[in-house]
Amino acid sequence: MLVGHDKQDGESTDHNVVKKNIICSSCDNNCLLEAEFVDGELKTFHPLNGPRSFCEKPFFWKDYRHHPDRILHPLKNVGKRGEQKWVQISWDQALDEIAERLQKIIDKYGAESVAYSTQPINTGDDQGMLRRFFNLLGTPNYMTGMNMCFGNTIQVHRCTYGNNQLADYSKAKCIVLLGHNPHRRNWASEANALEDALERGAKLIVLDPRTSENTRRAHLHLPLRYGTDAAMLLGFINIIIEEELYDKEFVDKYTVGFDQLRERVKEYPVDKVAEITGCDPDMIRQAARMYATSGGSIIPWGPIPDMQVNGTSAARCTAILISICGFLNKTEMLQYPDPDLVSCSVLELHGMLPMEQKLKQLGTEKYPLLTYKGYEMLREPNKKVFGKDWLNLFTSFMCNPASVFEAMRGEGPYPVKAFFALGSNALMCYVNQRGAFKGLMNQDLIVVQDHWLTPTAQLADYILPSDYYMERPALRNQDHSPAMNLQQQLFEPLGESRNMYDLLKGLADRMGLEDYFPWKTFKDVLDYRLQKTGKTYNDLKNNPTVLPSRGYDPFTEGFATPSGKIELYSSVFESLGLDPLPYYREPAQTPISNPELAKEYPLTMFVGVRDKALYLTNYRQIEGMRKHNPYPEAFVHPADAARAGVADGDWIWVETTHDRIMLKTLIDAEQPQGTIRIPHGWWMPELEPGLKTGLSGAMLFNDAMILPDDDWNTDREQGIPNLRGGLLAKIYKADQISK
């Protein structure tokens, strides 16, 4: 382990107190914090977004940064794929060899044979450089786990009113949480905003099958059946229209498609919605009325409705509710690209990727909405309203991950033979993990940049050490949000850790693309983005948040949609052959749709319990965090546990029609009977790496093993896999495994 003090970059060690702002990248809430140094040593953190507390994750920075397992030097695997025969090499050797092997693959199979995966919300914002490099290389095959979480919702909202919207808790008089449960150990800054709103007297409606911290203080709790969020929201819309609680003037002036919407939601009378969701019809009416009449309501984004077979329809419903009640730019603020910055979308050089290559994007024909093809009708409206042909709202123009892994296995329209996982534990973060594993084993080149020997990295040819978020400057801004948050660099990177930009520039310089990467350092890229302001990063780095010089008024400037209005009936969907209105369909595997299968698999499964001390597949190395969640646990109702003959703490198999995983039983009376809730992202870094241990347990414990990517289990519009209701499972006792 490295020893010694962690002194702040560029500061003296005189007796003084120095404070620097950072954007905590420990999870996706990205809290703004103030780091306090005393005599040059980091001592503590304070919240910058209010007086309330935040979670414990940033306090484990030293355990993380100096962990003995952190990768600090480039590594090359000199054995077969999956053999753990690593040798340390130099960055120059790694980049030389990667560039040479990558070029050979492109020459043989075409540029589209390269695919890449990242997690943009946690990798320090690459400022458009990632897609710039791969667009210039000629591949359209970009993917991220945000394809099924947030990215899919943003795409639906931009088709409705031209961009994403952000709920403003400070103005809300009523808050609707769709299974979303912000609390102090996850989503801390949002939990603080919720707390402030409730103290001001805002009303709270929670739609959640379980009892949680927030259902206990809700004014209305609707314990709907897993996977029926879209049906509930369709019922809300029907009630609001039927009882004329919508904003008629707003609808007449700013929307199109209201008459078609009215006819569609008549198919969802409250009694039918009550039957589908399992909720009391009077409570459904009461909730819809409360939302519409409270004087300004919000539906904060949360991941629960996204990952359902009706995920796109649920997102359409939230956008429609916001619109017909007139809450857009009142309590739900429409976002826009910052006019004072050089746009990430511009830097990504999407225009340099030929249309021929764009149309090769995997999944385009089956699930076009989130792809380049799906964006075509939005190009002209974006240029007209925002002045940009290509407007990437964080996760736009993506391929379909299942289609990528098919091509990696040799089952697609063309082969994918080179794969880059940059800050992404890609094996574990999608679904059909066994299929993903087969695809990775079939690659000619795998490059990983990460902190750890993750299960994905265990299959790589090269692992390159990434800097830690406190070891780099950051400018957190994407085109879905006008606010710009800046982070000061606290430390120099340890070992030979480098920023993602260094990797991309190093490859670009070796592959004839050096003219497109003229910036010597990542900080130079930040300065380039700021040039229109007349400021540099150093000029602004003490300001945690910088707001744009002017706002955007869609009511006078227009909405970036084909009609120039809010599209309740989506012309983009219609052009792609998709249903232009939201709907509900019963998932293929429920006791209602498949009662015979439910006899063998009696539990309806909810996937994605967020362990309070962990985040996705990360932090299981950190002892102080892992002690709160030492093992992967399945939440099971006492009656279901008794029926299966398992006790609290027993190791069990959780089996679906796709595969099975091993978890520990957590008997929980608040888990609805007949259901099971399982966590996401489990592996055990303490197990030996390699194929013999199932890649440190990833092939034994991770939820993606039991989740299929078949069409019957995906959202029709975007191919989003169903994790949150409508997948049947059974449990049975497993042999005890050792610690």
**Residue 79 identity:** G
d(CA 179, CA 176): 9
Q: Which of 53, 58, 126, 648 is nearest to 348 (CA)?
A: 126
User: Cα 680 vs. chain centroid, distance in angstroms?
Assistant: 13
Could you tell me the two tokens for 611?
Answer: 């362990």
Rounded-to-integer distance, Cα 357 and Cα 359, Å: 5
Report the DSSP pairing between strands 86-88 and 75-77. Answer: antiparallel
Contacts 24+ apart (CB under 8 A), 524-529: 525/127, 525/129, 525/501, 526/127, 526/473, 526/475, 528/342, 529/127, 529/341, 529/342, 529/344, 529/347, 529/475, 529/477
> Does residue 212 sit in helix, strand or coil?
coil
**Known active-site residue 611:** no
Which strands form 484-487's sheet, in the order they lie side by side? 474-476, 484-487, 545-546
Q: How far is CA 116 from the centre of its chain?
A: 16
Which DSSP symbol is given to 724? S
> HSE of 430 in the Cβ direction (CA atoms, 13 Å)?
31
Rounded to an integer, what distance in angstroms lies between the CA atom of residue 204 and that of residue 214? 8
Written as six digits, the tokens of 708 are 């299929």
> Which of 429, 435, 359 lies closest to 399 in space, CA to CA?
359
Tokens of 13: 């060690």
* Structure tokens that stand for 49 in this block: 């977004």
Q: Which amino acid is at 146?
A: M
Of these residues, 28, 63, 579, 659, which one is catalytic?
Answer: 28
Angle value at C-alpha 545, between 542 and 551, nearest 5 degrees = 140
Q: How many residues are recorded in the chain? A: 739
Question: Which residues does the annotation mark as catalytic?
Answer: 28
